Amino acid sequence: MRNQGQRLVRGTDVARAAGVSVATVSLVLNDRRNVVLSERTRDRVREAARRLGYLPNRVAQSLIQGRTRTVGVLLPSLASSFVARIADGIETAAAAAGLGLLLANSRHDPESEDRQLGILLGQRVEGVVLVAGEGTVSTLGKRLERLQQSATPFVVVDDETHGHRGDCVVSDDRQGMDLAVAHLASLGHRRIAHLGAGSITSSALARLDGYRAAMARLRLRVDRDWIEGDAFRSADPAASLMRLLRARRPPTAVVAANDRHLAEALPTLRAAGIGVPGDLSLVGYANYDFASYLDLTSVEQDPEVIGAKAFGQLLSRITDGPSKPARIRVPVRLIVRSSTQAAFFRS
Amino acid sequence: MRNQGQRLVRGTDVARAAGVSVATVSLVLNDRRNVVLSERTRDRVREAARRLGYLPNRVAQSLIQGRTRTVGVLLPSLASSFVARIADGIETAAAAAGLGLLLANSRHDPESEDRQLGILLGQRVEGVVLVAGEGTVSTLGKRLERLQQSATPFVVVDDETHGHRGDCVVSDDRQGMDLAVAHLASLGHRRIAHLGAGSITSSALARLDGYRAAMARLRLRVDRDWIEGDAFRSADPAASLMRLLRARRPPTAVVAANDRHLAEALPTLRAAGIGVPGDLSLVGYANYDFASYLDLTSVEQDPEVIGAKAFGQLLSRITDGPSKPARIRVPVRLIVRSSTQAAFFRS
DNA sequence: GTGAAAGCGCTAACAT
DNA sequence: ATGTTAGCGCTTTCAC
């Protein structure tokens, strides 16, 4: 539309070219099997459509069919590769189901997220995948309410704290922390500390929770000064890590909620003469590509699957309607590299 | 649409609730200043719209106005953070201009790209940003032809080889290589080799070209065995790098077309006892986040700006119509870290 | 077998 | 100052 100059080909044009009516064009091109059309007409129409490069106007189709074959994806930013890969997973699944993707970006701003949501709803998307993020997560409830009122199916990704209002898909952070802690314990570590993500997202909280649960399951005590880098003192991961090492009973291993914090703290560790894994074992989280270059043992997530599951759940809501909210946790796996090592000689 | 149960609010509903006609609703909500409406009616309509949560159906608006306020973005994958950040830039610019984004993913497959393009055109997007990628770039021409025939404005990103058919936006790879080579030369290096990206994208070619041009500009000879990792022997960056070091006149510095190759070759270098930057200076390209963790001097691109410029160019095509094809090169900058050092004592 | 006509929800001329 | 009407491009009964 708004094609300066040559106007786009319409069904009418094809009809005229084929010497039939628009109705027939529609019948032929949509392969309506219940009506019987002569082969000759079918061919003539198809030929004319091909020759003119006719593409049925999906806007008009949407209007009359009452469905847009489009879902909305509302995310905080594509700058995060985790989020981008989730979007990739959603797109792939949606394309396979014949649905298009309307992408909107809140730029971590609740007001913007609200405005974007309005646009998506105005476009009459058939459903919305809402990827939570720092900045918007605390007021997410409002937007979910709005979605509910509009009776538009939706799925929340990367936040389960608001999950009671509908479906959500998250990475299994508790499992990840359990794998990390169990791995260290199996290497003989007993004094395992946690370097938090410095965030209030449900992921960060679940990782902290998962750390505590794993330690409890393995009957390992957690000293009060073994947890650092919560939402309020995350500014400097290196400083946080060094604080951990000054604990009354210094840890022999640290599980971090994020590879990045570890990577940033590494030079400080080196400067302090603390060898990894000789003096300290480290497990990261997210398995960013630099984890392999830095030889960091890390928990790998699967954002593409998260996206695919989110779309799958959304699709079943669109076709089957609402029912009991689902909470889907996508499994993670531990990638063992050389930042972790047995702690025999320390106990 | 396809809202099981409660039907969405239409203009008619608002009209009935406010005791006016649909036309009036439209006039009020679109703030038509040329027609005069009583304040009382305006308020009544606005109030009713607010109360009912009315959102004008953009599908219907699109149909009658002949414009969808939507642009299509067709990219090879969101798994690449470079591409994802370009998409982010496009989205931000589009949102600022009041246009939505229909995102489609070719998964590096030309046929899929063609199919997706058909869907975008069927949706009557007002323009298309086509991000080139490995796998689709060689047959890009066909799709550009299709776009031209449909008279839909488009901009190609990350490929200038097909740029003669319309506008394109690329990162300034030649400038990047020039910065890298000049930096090394300023440190006293004369024997500077090139480790290619192992790709046939226009970026990879431009970087190789840029390397040659920069060397020529600085009157530095390029030995025949100083170029490695072209499209045909890129499988193993470490092996390529080691081959470079066995050149008749071994280089004292290497500029790579991609950080990743350097990162992968680093362990091999270490194992061979070759110190960086002591024995060899290295400059990477792309400035991935691991470049900072590995202390790699690197050329930083600006994908968000690339996206923004691409959208800007597209928008001017949409509003102003076609004219001489533009070729926009987005500047890069060199981030100096400690993988490069003066080569005084070697010459 | 095929065409005519109605209508999806909206906007924009034209009436009143 | 507001309502009536036509029509965007398509699909879908219902006539012929």
Whether A99 and B99 have beta carbons less than 8 Å apart is answered as: no
Identify the pLDDT of residue B1: 45
pTM of the model: 0.95
B181 shares a domain with B159: no
Whether A118 and A145 have beta carbons less than 8 Å apart is answered as: no
Averaged pLDDT, B254-283: 96
User: Does residue B40 belong to any structural domain of this protein?
Assistant: yes
> Does any strand D atom come closer than 7 Å to the Cβ of A30?
yes
3-state secondary structure of A117: helix
Q: Which is nearest to B294 in space by CA: B255, B265, B329, B326?
A: B265
Distance measured from the CA of protein residue A34 to the C1' of nucleotide D6, in angstroms: 33
A162 shares a domain with A184: no
H helix intervals, chain A = 11-18, 22-29, 39-52, 58-65, 81-96, 110-122, 140-149, 173-186, 202-217, 237-245, 259-271, 289-293, 303-320
Q: B79 and A88: CB-CB below 8 Å? A: yes
End position of a domain, from candidates A40, A65, A90: A65
Q: Which residues contact B190 (CB under 8 A, 6 or more apart)?
A: B220, B252, B343, B347
Q: B59 and A56: CB-CB below 8 Å? A: no
**Token pair 């219907």: residue:** B60
Q: How far is CA B236 from CA A135, A201, B242, B276, in A?
A: 42, 40, 10, 20
End position of a domain, from candidates B35, B65, B95: B65
- Nearest protein residue, CA measured to C1' of C3: A21
User: In chain A, which residues have their Cβ closer than 8 Å to the Cβ of B65?
Assistant: 1
Whether B297 and B336 have beta carbons less than 8 Å apart is answered as: yes
Q: Which residues contact B45 (CB under 8 A, 6 or more apart)?
A: B14, B18, B20, B24, B25, B28, B29
A132, containing H or E segment: none
Give helix A303-320 / helix A81-96 axis angle, nearest 10°: 40
**Token pair 């990792």: residue:** B229
Nucleotide nearest to B28 (CA to C1'): D2
B58 shares a domain with B26: yes
User: In chain A, which residues have their Cβ closer than 8 Å to the Cβ of B282?
Assistant: none
User: Does residue A40 belong to any structural domain of this protein?
Assistant: yes
> Does any strand D atom come closer than 7 Å to the Cβ of A64?
yes
Whether B103 and B73 have beta carbons less than 8 Å apart is answered as: yes
d(CA A102, CA A128): 9
Q: How many CA atoms lie within 13 A of B90 on its CB side?
A: 32
User: What CATH code is carried by the domain that includes residue A23?
Assistant: 1.10.260.40
User: Does residue B3 belong to any structural domain of this protein?
Assistant: no
Whole-number mean pLDDT of chain B? 93
Q: B8 and A107: CB-CB below 8 Å? A: no
Q: A105 and B124: CB-CB below 8 Å? A: no
**Token pair 């359990």: residue:** A178
Contact positions of strand D to protein Cβ (< 7 A): 1-5, 7-14
- Nearest protein residue, CA measured to C1' of D13: A23
The per-residue b/e assignment along A83-109, b for 16 or more CB within 10 angstroms, e otherwise, is bbbbbbbbbbbbbeeebbbbbbbbbbe
Q: Domain range spanning residue A282?
A: 173-301+334-346
Residue-wise pLDDT for B294-315, tens only, equals 999 999 999 999 999 999 999 9
d(CA B214, CA B179): 8
Burial class for A242, CB neighbours closer than 10 Å (0-12, 13-18, 19+): middle
According to the 3-state scheme, what is the secondary structure of chain B?
A: CCCCCCCCCCHHHHHHHHCCCHHHHHHHHCCCCCCCCCHHHHHHHHHHHHHHCCCCCHHHHHHHHCCCCEEEEEECCCCCHHHHHHHHHHHHHHHHCCCEEEEEECCCCHHHHHHHHHHHHHCCCCCEEEECCCCCHHHHHHHHHHHHHCCCCEEEECCCCCCCCCEEEEECHHHHHHHHHHHHHHCCCCCEEEECCCCCCHHHHHHHHHHHHHHHHCCCCCCHHHEECCCCCCCCHHHHHHHHHCCCCCCCEEEECCHHHHHHHHHHHHHCCCCCCCCCEEEEEECCHHHHHCCCEEEECCHHHHHHHHHHHHHHHHHHCCCCCCEEEECCEEECCCCCCCCCCCC
**Token pair 């106990």: residue:** A347
Checking if the pLDDT of B4 tops 70, the result is: no
A228, containing H or E segment: strand A227-228
Q: B62 and A88: CB-CB below 8 Å? A: no
Q: A150 and B121: CB-CB below 8 Å? A: no
d(CA A295, CA B219): 40
Residue-wise pLDDT for B279-296, tens only, equals 999 999 999 999 999 999
Identify the pLDDT of residue A347: 43
A295 shares a domain with A313: no
d(CA A5, CA A157): 44
Candidates B59, B88, B260; nearest CB to A105: B88
Distance measured from the CA of protein residue B155 to the C1' of nucleotide D12, in angstroms: 39
Nucleotide nearest to A63 (CA to C1'): C8
Q: How far is CA B88 from CA A111, A325, B141, B302, B325, in A?
A: 18, 31, 25, 11, 24
- Number of structural domains chain B divides into: 3
A79 shares a domain with A35: no
User: In chain A, which residues have their Cβ closer than 8 Å to the Cβ of B261?
Assistant: none
> Does any strand C atom come closer than 7 Å to the Cβ of B271?
no
Q: Tell me which DSSP letter residue A215 carries.
A: H
Residue-wise pLDDT for B139-158, tens only, equals 999 999 999 999 999 999 99
Q: In one letter, which amino acid is B133?
A: G
d(CA B163, CA B325): 8
Q: How many CA atoms lie within 13 A of B117 on its CB side?
A: 26
Residue-wise pLDDT for B6-62, tens only, equals 468 999 999 999 999 999 999 999 988 777 788 889 999 999 999 999 999 999 999
Identify the pLDDT of residue B20: 94
**Token pair 């390529």: residue:** B240
User: Does residue B53 belong to any structural domain of this protein?
Assistant: yes
A131, containing H or E segment: strand A128-131
> Does any strand D atom come closer than 7 Å to the Cβ of B20?
yes
The per-residue b/e assignment along B307-343, b for 16 or more CB within 10 angstroms, e otherwise, is bbbbbbbbbebbeeeeeeeeebbbebebbebebbbeb
Burial class for A55, CB neighbours closer than 10 Å (0-12, 13-18, 19+): middle
B307 shares a domain with B295: no
Residues 82-101 of B with CB under 7 A from strand C: none
Tokens of B276: 């960086």
Residues 41-60 of B with CB under 7 A from strand D: 41, 60
Q: Sign of dihedral through CA atoms B58, B60, B65, B69?
A: positive
Q: How does pLDDT run along chain A (347 residues), one tens digit per residue?
A: 444 434 689 999 999 999 999 999 999 999 887 777 889 999 999 999 999 999 999 999 999 999 999 999 999 999 999 999 999 999 999 999 999 999 999 999 999 999 999 999 999 999 999 999 988 988 999 999 999 999 999 999 999 988 678 999 999 999 999 999 999 999 999 999 999 988 888 999 999 999 999 999 999 999 999 999 765 555 789 999 999 999 999 999 999 999 999 999 999 999 999 999 999 999 999 999 999 999 999 999 999 999 999 999 999 999 999 899 999 999 999 999 999 999 865 44
Identify the pLDDT of residue B275: 95
Identify the pLDDT of residue A233: 53
Distance measured from the CA of protein residue A129 to the C1' of nucleotide D11, in angstroms: 29
B215 shares a domain with B84: no
Candidates A3, A8, A91; nearest CB to B105: A91
- Nearest protein residue, CA measured to C1' of D6: B64
User: Does residue A312 belong to any structural domain of this protein?
Assistant: yes
User: What CATH code is carried by the domain that includes residue B189?
Assistant: 3.40.50.2300
User: Does residue B136 belong to any structural domain of this protein?
Assistant: yes
Which of A59, A121, A150, A314 to mutate to test binding with chain B, by most B CBs within 10 Å of its CB? A59
- Nearest protein residue, CA measured to C1' of C2: A24
User: Does residue B4 belong to any structural domain of this protein?
Assistant: no
d(CA B269, CA B277): 11
d(CA B136, CA A15): 35
A88 shares a domain with A19: no
B208 shares a domain with B256: yes
End position of a domain, from candidates B65, B81, B105: B65
Q: Which residues contact B274 (CB under 8 A, 6 or more apart)?
A: B245, B280
Q: Which is nearest to B170 in space by CA: B313, B12, B317, B16?
A: B313
User: Does residue A269 belong to any structural domain of this protein?
Assistant: yes
Percent pLDDT > 90 in chain B is: 86
User: In chain A, which residues have their Cβ closer than 8 Å to the Cβ of B149?
Assistant: 53
What Rg do the C-alpha atoms of chain B give, in angstroms? 27
A275 shares a domain with A247: yes
Tokens of B63: 């149909």
d(CA A106, CA A135): 10
Nucleotide nearest to A14 (CA to C1'): D9
**Nearest residue on chain A to B303, alpha-carbon basis:** A79
B201 shares a domain with B97: no
Residue-wise pLDDT for B321-334, tens only, equals 989 999 999 999 99
The per-residue b/e assignment along B2-31, b for 16 or more CB within 10 angstroms, e otherwise, is ebeeeebbbbebbbebbebeeebbbbbbee
A158 shares a domain with A144: yes
